[in-house]
Amino acid sequence: MATVEVPYQETVPLHHPKTWIGKYIFSQDHKIIAVQYGVTAMAVGLVALILSEFMRLQIAFPGWEWMDFFTADHYYQAITMHGMIMVIYLLTAFLLGAFGNFCIPLMCGARDMVFPFVNMLSYWVYLLSVIILMVSYFVPGGPTGAGWTLYPPQTITAGTPGHDWGIATMLISLAVFIVAFTMGGLNYITTILQARTRGLTLMRMPLTVWGIFIATFLGLVAFPALFVSAVMMLLDNFLGTSFFMPAIVSLGEKLQYSGGQPLLFQHLFWFFGHPEVYIVALPAFGVVSDLISVHARKNIFGYRMMVWAIVAIGALSLIVWAHHMYVAGMHPSFGYFFATTTLIIAVPTALKVYNWILTLWRANIRITVPMLFALAFVLTFIVGGITGLFLGNVIIDIPLSDTYFVVAHFHMVMGVSPILAIFGGIYHWYPKLTGRMLNDTIGRIHFYFTFIGTYAIYFPMHYLGFIGVPRRYYETGISDFYPQTAHDLNVFITVAALIVGASQVLFIVNLVHSYFNGKKAPANPWGANSLEWCTPETPPRHGNWEDQLPTVHRWAYDFGVPGEEKDHVPQTVPRRKAS
Amino acid sequence: MATEGQQHPIKIYFLIWLLLFVFSFFSYLVDYLDLQGNLRWFLIVVFMLLKAGFIVAIFMHMKWERFALIFGILLPPLALVVLMFLMAIESNYAWSSRVQYMGEDPAPKPKPPPHMDHGEHGEDKDH
Amino acid sequence: MTDTTLSSQESIFTSTAKDWSSDMTTFKGVPWGKAMMWIFLLSDTFIFTCFLVGYMVMRMTVTEPWPVASEVFALTVWGVSVPLLLIAIMTFILITSSGTMAMAVNMGYQRRKWAVFWLMVATAALGASFVGMQCFEWPKLILEGVRPWYNPMGAPQFGSIFFMVTGFHGLHVSVGVAYLLIVAIRVVRGKYDHTNFEIVEITGLYWHFVDLFVVRTEA
């Protein structure tokens, strides 16, 4: 290039708000929006956590008079809301909305997202979707109880709790969420592609940004399928169309529907739903890669492989969706195709796990709290991933379908793992965000309760699944054919779940307490290299950088480079001329 | 950056404009001549793709974009091709099982629309 | 212009690799808004295609008869029933509007503000008349007894799909008309004088995209 390019953001001044409301409520600052996303997601996640505790109590002690208020309808509603909230309103919103907003501009050396106003709008529309979702507890009939997959026809036939109002609020809330996500996601992608700073090529970006990038991209192409199926199901429910509804007799009465194809919903749903798994997993991969590298003081093993693995997983995740439907009665030979693609996707995933482990190999590991969570993520992800190999095979999947084995699998792989990555990320970036360190002791206690507790919950579930205990049952009725151990284990799991749930209070106490009384954080407490630790102020001010944006000279993983004085070399340090 | 725009002779727009009408005319012809079966769908899809291609390439200026953008935009919809292909197989299967196991009529004749059969007009027969 | 001329000399793979591995921007010379609009359109493509997949599945799985489109959408002109006339006219209108839009973009880069304004208004007017035709088409079908849940000519899914897809598309067109008018007025008022009128091209992208899907939703 003949002309020297200047990052566009350096040429346009940022508009600084004057009022308190402009600064902190209707803020266009990506860091504030990240906090807003994070707090909302955590609040709604707490609701989902409490719902799960009710479900566990019911499963462990069916018929206990204290749980009388918790009817079968409530149970199914709790299942549905728990699943939907956790997957979409907590994990997706937190990993992309909170981490995405916080990390992308800082790690790309940008002042803010490319369109801060749209970014702000994204948060408020997300809040609206959460409110609509919560409203479903106050409409006649309560929220929908169809399970988070919302399969028709049972979703909108009488007998399912919330089949009229609840499903409407759920679907509308999802559609609104998709609008919010699209506004945010377009911003994230455009920022990553078009607003990087000098010298920051894609192959120098931290893996966190890579994970968020591909996940956002997946969201933009996968959420449309959910949007379409939500629209069609709303029409089925309220206009009486028959997209998904075959001719059906419900409660002894023939309904007006005819000729619909319920499998179409399942296909569309999982065309969204499987990429959704990776929308949640990929940012977690990225965050964990960075945490491991920083806290093990060693460059990430096989950076390029890691990037291409993320890209490959993203691409493959769009063509594996029907492995959720082996027992749904689809075309019999689809099993070949989808089992094959599913097992292929295990290759890049396994590659990532090997690279994490090889990064740890002979590294100078510092067992900090973020590192603990990162290590726990790797372990948990391996367990969940390996059971995924079981379930990816048609012949093993069929007997295990709809048992607790499945519950254990997806909670391990896309419930607990991303949550551990989120915790790790929060402990890692909290000092940069607030300028205070989180309390280390409380952090460790919180970690051990969470980590060991989740294993106490989900490990026994694999066994329950093998002996055939079905999932989603309010009570098993006459269940003498289950060994006594199954019942005992259920009680054990519930006790563990209660302890894990209660221990999350520690985390919130820690967040609040440290915000006011925590130790003052230095600019770079972990000795990390990526750009967010090079800001002139901690916490970074609106606009993040001085008049000039930083210049990047190297990748984010220069730890322990021979010949350097310090054990880490930030991205902004020029490379020495080869002598 | 980004100070140079897209400037092309207006002639090419008129050319494409005309071309689009020609294609529309042909796909209209497919219906008019009442072609049936695979030929019909093949022709409709071909004309559709041609028209879409010209709109994207000329009117939306993709022809003059750098290939970085072209690949970035045109590769992801391949996933949709997979979805469409598999859904076509699936629908075929669903249809054949409906015919085979539920005794549905494999070749039903559509009733003509009310304005064609000179019968009662606009009768509200729905429930 | 340097970028564009460069790309004609390198192979497409070299230029792609170079752009994707460069710093600062991946899409060279593309303003933020335009990049964002392209990505949004990619996402919207997935929405429309999912609707069309729904149409395809309905069409292929129903065992009740599917109405013959050329008969349903026939107009009786001077006593002769011309099949699909309405759809032909609507396609004509939208393609023409695409033409005027392309001209507007061209004028924008020549900085001829009033030409841009009138061409965009013409585009919007054509778009509005498209929606108007839809307002003619819908009651026609409804009077014939077609409902989203019922269709006197056979499969009820015909009505469902028709109203859903055309409704969704009509919504896009209406939004596009509003968008066009807003941009047109702002162009004349000189809101974009400091820029290079990329906004016209961005609006144009959206409009052509909407146009593109009428091409796909017919039949």
| Closest of A387, A391, A266, A377 to residue A330, by C-alpha | A266
Mean pLDDT in residue range C100-107: 86
Q: Which of A47-51, A469-473, C211-215 has the highest mean pLDDT?
A: A47-51
| Tens of pLDDT, residues B76-105 | 999 999 999 999 999 999 988 888 888 777
**More confidently predicted of A81 and A562:** A81
Secondary structure (DSSP) of B51-102:
HHHHIIIIIT-GGGS-HHHHHHHHSTTHHHHHHHHHHHHHHHHHHHHHHHHH
C141/C159 Cα distance (integer angstroms)? 9
Residue A427 pLDDT > 70: yes
Which domains does chain A show, CATH number per domain? 26-246+259-534 (1.20.210.10)
Confidence of residue B4 (pLDDT cuts 50, 70, 90): very low
Residue A261 pLDDT > 60: yes
| Closest of A520, A560, A518, A517 to residue A537, by C-alpha | A520
Residue A525 pLDDT > 70: yes
Mean pLDDT in residue range A6-14: 76
Same domain membership, residue B20 and residue B55: yes
B49/B57 Cα distance (integer angstroms)? 12
| Tens of pLDDT, residues C156-191 | 888 888 888 888 888 988 999 999 999 999 888 877
Cβ distance C4 to B24 less than 8 Å, yes or no, reads no
**A-chain residues near C21 (CB < 8 A):** 201-203
Evaluate whether residue C2 is within a structural domain: no
Q: What pLDDT is recorded for position B3?
A: 40
Mean pLDDT in residue range B40-48: 79
Same domain membership, residue B85 and residue B55: no
Tokens of A575: 């490379």
Evaluate whether residue C125 is within a structural domain: yes
Tokens of A259: 């000729």
Same domain membership, residue B53 and residue B93: no
Chains touching chain A at 3 or more Cβ pairs under 8 angstroms?
Answer: B, C
Q: What pLDDT is recorded for position A298?
A: 93
Residue A473 pLDDT > 50: yes
- Spatial CB neighbours of A171, under 8 Å, sequence gap ≥ 6: A150, A230, A233, A234
> What are the residues facing A198 on neighbouring strands?
A551
| Closest of B99, C150, C115, C145 to residue A256, by C-alpha | C150
**C-chain residues near B66 (CB < 8 A):** 3-4, 7, 15-16, 19, 27-29
Write phi, then psi, for C81 (nearest 5 degrees): -85, 115
Evaluate whether residue B33 is within a structural domain: yes
Evaluate whether residue B114 is within a structural domain: no
Mean pLDDT in residue range B25-40: 74
B-facing residues of C in 105-164 (CB < 8 A) are: 105-106, 108-110, 143-145, 147, 149-150, 152-154
Residue B1 pLDDT > 50: no
A284/A374 Cα distance (integer angstroms)? 9
Q: What pLDDT is recorded for position A3?
A: 46
A497/A512 Cα distance (integer angstroms)? 24
Of B38, B64, B90, the one marking the end of a domain is: B64
Burial B48-62 (b: 16+ CB within 10 A, else e): bebbbebbbebbbbb
Count structural domains, chain B: 2
Residue A248 pLDDT > 90: no
- Spatial CB neighbours of C150, under 8 Å, sequence gap ≥ 6: B125, B126, B127, C156, C159
Evaluate whether residue C6 is within a structural domain: no
Q: What pLDDT is recorded for position B121?
A: 39
Evaluate whether residue C97 is within a structural domain: yes
Under 8 Å between Cβ of C6 and C15 = yes
Q: Percent of chain A scored above 90 by pLDDT? A: 76
Full residue range of the structural domain in which residue C186 is found: 31-217
Supply the CATH number for residue C101's domain: 1.20.120.80
Cβ distance C148 to A221 less than 8 Å, yes or no, reads no
Chains touching chain C at 3 or more Cβ pairs under 8 angstroms?
Answer: A, B
Q: What pLDDT is recorded for position C217?
A: 55
Residue A40 pLDDT > 90: yes
| Tens of pLDDT, residues A282-302 | 999 999 999 999 999 999 999
| H or E element at residue A92 | none
Confidence of residue C219 (pLDDT cuts 50, 70, 90): very low
Cβ distance A319 to B91 less than 8 Å, yes or no, reads no
Name the pairing type of β-strands C80-82 and A249-250: unpaired
C93/A142 Cα distance (integer angstroms)? 47
Q: Is B64 exposed, middle or buried (0-12, 13-18, 19+ CB in 10 A)?
A: middle
| Closest of A508, A479, A565, C53 to residue B81, by C-alpha | C53
| Closest of C20, C48, C19 to residue C164, by C-alpha | C48
Evaluate whether residue C26 is within a structural domain: no
Residue B123 pLDDT > 80: no
Q: What share of chain B is helix, strand, coil (3-state, %, to 5)?
A: 65, 0, 35
Under 8 Å between Cβ of A256 and A356 = no
| Tens of pLDDT, residues A180-211 | 999 999 999 999 999 999 889 999 999 999 99
Residue A254 pLDDT > 80: yes
Q: What pLDDT is recorded for position B115?
A: 58
Mark out chain C residues that contact chain A at CB-CB < 8 A: 2, 20-27, 30, 32-33, 35-36, 39-40, 42-44, 46-47, 50-51, 53-54, 57-58, 61-64, 148-149, 155-157, 159-160, 164, 168
Secondary structure (DSSP) of A202-249:
GGGS-HHHHHHHHHHHHHHHHHHHHHHHHHHHHHHHHT---SS--S-E
Interface mutation target, options A319, A320, A340, A345, chain B, most CBs of B under 10 Å = A319
Count structural domains, chain C: 1
Same domain membership, residue B48 and residue B18: yes
Residue B6 pLDDT > 70: no
Q: What pLDDT is recorded for position A15?
A: 77
Q: How far is B67 from chain C, CA to nearest CA, in Å?
A: 5
- DSSP assigned state of C84: T
Residue B126 pLDDT > 70: no
* Range scoring the smallest mean pLDDT among A59-73, A94-108, A235-249, C190-204: C190-204
| Tens of pLDDT, residues A312-323 | 999 999 999 999
Q: What pLDDT is recorded for position C82?
A: 67
C154/A489 Cα distance (integer angstroms)? 56
Q: What pLDDT is recorded for position A265?
A: 95
Evaluate whether residue B84 is within a structural domain: yes
C69/A27 Cα distance (integer angstroms)? 52
Evaluate whether residue B126 is within a structural domain: no
Among chain C residues, CA nearest to A191 = C32
Full residue range of the structural domain in which residue B41 is found: 8-64
Same domain membership, residue B45 and residue B82: no
Residue B120 pLDDT > 60: no
Neighbours of C77 (CB within 10 A): 9
* Average pLDDT value for chain A: 92
| Closest of A57, A70, A46 to residue A497, by C-alpha | A57
Q: Percent of chain C scored above 70 by pLDDT? A: 84
A368/A371 Cα distance (integer angstroms)? 5
Same domain membership, residue B27 and residue B49: yes
Under 8 Å between Cβ of A233 and A171 = yes
**B-chain residues near C61 (CB < 8 A):** 91, 94-95, 98
Residue A494 pLDDT > 70: yes
Mean pLDDT in residue range A425-438: 95
